[in-house]
Amino acid sequence: MDAETAPGNAHEFSVTELSFALKRTVEENFGYVRVKGEVGRVSRPASGHIYLDLKDDKSVLNGVIWKGVASKLKIKPEQGLEVVCTGKLTTFPGQSRYQIVIEQMELAGVGALMALLEQRKKALAAEGLFDASRKKPLPFLPQVIGVVTSPSGAVIRDILHRLRDRFPRHVLVWPVRVQGEQSADEVARAIDGFNKLQPGGPVPRPDLLIVARGGGSIEDLWSFNEEIVVRAAAASDIPLISAIGHETDTTLLDFAADQRAPTPTAAAEMAVPVRADLVVRVLDNARRLVRAETRKVSELSARLESLARGLPKIDDLLALPGQRLDHASQRLGLGLGAAAGAKRAHFERVAAGLSLRPIASSLAQGRNRTNELAGRAAQAQRRHLGDLGGRLAQAGRLLDSYSYQGVLERGFALVRDGAGSPVRSSAGITIGEALELEFSKGDRLAVTAAQSGPSGPQQGKPKVSESKVSAKKPAGSSKPKNVNQGQLF
């Protein structure tokens, strides 16, 4: 071993230096490569980049598609899809692995694409999106037709021309791209947009939808095989006609649509009938209706005449009932007389059996009962009046015992003031006030209150002045009495 290769003299690398040295070596020797393989694991983080694995039966190669490139790819990478990727080989030092930065992705062949199409068809069919029970009938004559297609292609001109020739209708065109990465999203949004239009709004809601595109390869028509388009067509409440490509072209949209048209022109023919044919049919039906009505009226008239000949005359029909009516009228008069006589005889028999004696007896009994009740009522009234008289006399005696007249008869007198109110004490009497004394048997005496002397029994109290005493003559008295009561207070 020489000195240059001896372990002690080898150049020492850091991990980062060695990783980036390997990165430069790989990128310089493998600038652009094309790799064919099957797509394995596919990851789509929120950043928008796509990470995937390319594998064959022995090896696995990591791949990355940056966000700007991912939006421009013609096909979307899916697990199990065989593709050819073009890009630059590089390393990822952070995990010590190499990977391919994919800039283009193509299908490895039609067979792989058809296998993916068949796999997707089976998955969607298992969900029931292609069931015949989901199909809606097309309207016979739609007022508004919505068309989802490219506004600049020959497809929309063919559809409008065919509608104008057959039966002109109001057409709404939702412009979309019918090929490319954004085509599937635009077609799905157009179908959903037509379904979200409200009836009677500023933009009329279509009665029928047509999704149309001209012919092309399977790659060109791949947008109409995308799951988002198929689900939008299956969820459409408006009947939908799929008119994609030529008659030999088939997409998954054809299975989800309510009706498949071999060409866009055929879709316009399915959408509306021929106006001239309808006019001819209506006129022909009108003529047939008139002929049928005329023939029916003639047949009914002939039948009516034949039936009328077999009918009897009206007089013959009414003769027998008229005769029965006459006999019944005669019997009715006789019957009424006989019934009245029988009722009269029965009444006379009943009247003969009637007598006034029971009625007179009932009246006599009622009169006796009334007199008896009247006597009892008079006795009760007299007894009640006697009781009330005794109670009244007792109350009078009690009233006399409580009357002040009894007190006056025992020698007392009642003093009244000028207003006639009784005076109960001398505290409220003023000097010179006029007083009235009432004795028993109605005797009354008017006096005037005066001041007593200092030797009186009660000083400061009013006294009766004898010189001002005047006596009223009681009623019935022949001469006045000399009354001297003396000093009252």
pLDDT tens per residue across span 263-287: 999 999 999 999 888 889 899 999 9
78 domain-assigned: yes
pLDDT attached to residue 244: 93
Q: Which two tokens stand for residue 342?
A: 């029988």
pLDDT band, very low/low/confident/very high, at 110 (cuts 50, 70, 90): low
Residue 393 has a CB neighbour count (10 Å cut-off) of 10
120 domain-assigned: no
2 domain-assigned: no
Domain shared by 225 and 264, yes or no: yes
pLDDT band, very low/low/confident/very high, at 147 (cuts 50, 70, 90): very high
**Residue of higher predicted confidence among 459 and 142:** 142
Domain shared by 268 and 153, yes or no: yes
pLDDT band, very low/low/confident/very high, at 84 (cuts 50, 70, 90): confident
pLDDT attached to residue 312: 77
Summarize the confidence of residues 438-445 as an average pLDDT: 78
Angle at 180 between CA 177 and CA 186, to 5 degrees: 40
% the chain with pLDDT above 90: 33
- CA–CA gap between residue 235 and residue 129 (Å, rounded): 9
- Among candidate residues 61, 89, 108, the one where a domain is terminated: 108
pLDDT attached to residue 8: 58
229: three-class secondary structure by DSSP = helix
pLDDT tens per residue across span 233-251: 999 999 999 999 888 888 9
pLDDT attached to residue 7: 56
- Among candidate residues 57, 87, 108, the one where a domain is terminated: 108
Domain shared by 215 and 250, yes or no: yes
For the chain, the residue count is 489
455 domain-assigned: yes
Question: What DSSP string describes 69-126?
Answer: HHTT-SS---TT-EEEEEEEEEEETTTTEEEEEEEEEEES-HHHHHHHHHHHHHHHHH
Residue 240: beta bridge partners? 209
CATH number at residue 77: 2.40.50.140
402 domain-assigned: no
461 domain-assigned: yes
Summarize the confidence of residues 55-76 as an average pLDDT: 85
- CA–CA gap between residue 414 and residue 370 (Å, rounded): 60
Min mean pLDDT across 32-36, 145-149, 396-400 is at: 396-400
pLDDT attached to residue 160: 94
pLDDT attached to residue 171: 95
In order of 215, 217, 219, 236, 409, the CA distances from 262 in angstroms are: 10, 16, 19, 21, 146
231 domain-assigned: yes
Domain shared by 55 and 170, yes or no: no
- CA–CA gap between residue 190 and residue 173 (Å, rounded): 10
- CA–CA gap between residue 87 and residue 216 (Å, rounded): 28
- CA–CA gap between residue 219 and residue 225 (Å, rounded): 10
Q: What's the structural domain count of the chain?
A: 4
Q: Which two tokens stand for residue 442?
A: 């109605």
Domain shared by 153 and 245, yes or no: yes
**Residue of higher predicted confidence among 143 and 30:** 143
- Among candidate residues 108, 133, 166, the one where a domain is terminated: 108
- CA–CA gap between residue 392 and residue 425 (Å, rounded): 35
Domain region containing 286: 279-308
pLDDT attached to residue 112: 67
The single-letter code of the amino acid at 18 is: L
pLDDT attached to residue 109: 65
Domain shared by 269 and 291, yes or no: no
Domain shared by 260 and 284, yes or no: no
In sequence order, what are the residues at sequence separation of 6 or more whose Cβ sits closer than 8 angstroms to the Cβ of residue 84? 34, 35, 36, 105, 106, 107, 108
pLDDT tens per residue across span 352-411: 777 777 888 888 898 899 999 998 999 999 999 989 989 998 888 888 777 777 777 777
Domain shared by 147 and 81, yes or no: no
User: Is the pLDDT reported for residue 489 higher than 60?
Assistant: no
pLDDT band, very low/low/confident/very high, at 474 (cuts 50, 70, 90): very low
Domain shared by 416 and 298, yes or no: no
289 domain-assigned: yes
**Residue of higher predicted confidence among 98 and 185:** 185
Domain shared by 35 and 52, yes or no: yes
pLDDT band, very low/low/confident/very high, at 349 (cuts 50, 70, 90): confident
Domain shared by 100 and 195, yes or no: no
pLDDT attached to residue 477: 44
Angle at 275 between CA 269 and CA 276, to 5 degrees: 115
pLDDT band, very low/low/confident/very high, at 180 (cuts 50, 70, 90): confident
Closest C-alpha to 82, from 100, 65, 64, 106: 106
pLDDT attached to residue 479: 42
pLDDT attached to residue 89: 85
pLDDT tens per residue across span 195-233: 999 998 899 999 999 999 988 877 788 889 999 999 999
CATH number at residue 231: 3.40.50.9100
Under 8 Å between Cβ of 469 and 445: yes
pLDDT tens per residue across span 298-318: 999 999 888 888 777 777 777
- CA–CA gap between residue 241 and residue 146 (Å, rounded): 10
**Residue of higher predicted confidence among 171 and 485:** 171
Domain shared by 147 and 263, yes or no: yes
Q: Which two tokens stand for residue 200?
A: 């009677």
Residue 35: beta bridge partners? 85
Q: What is the mean pLDDT of the chain?
A: 82
**Residue of higher predicted confidence among 466 and 25:** 25
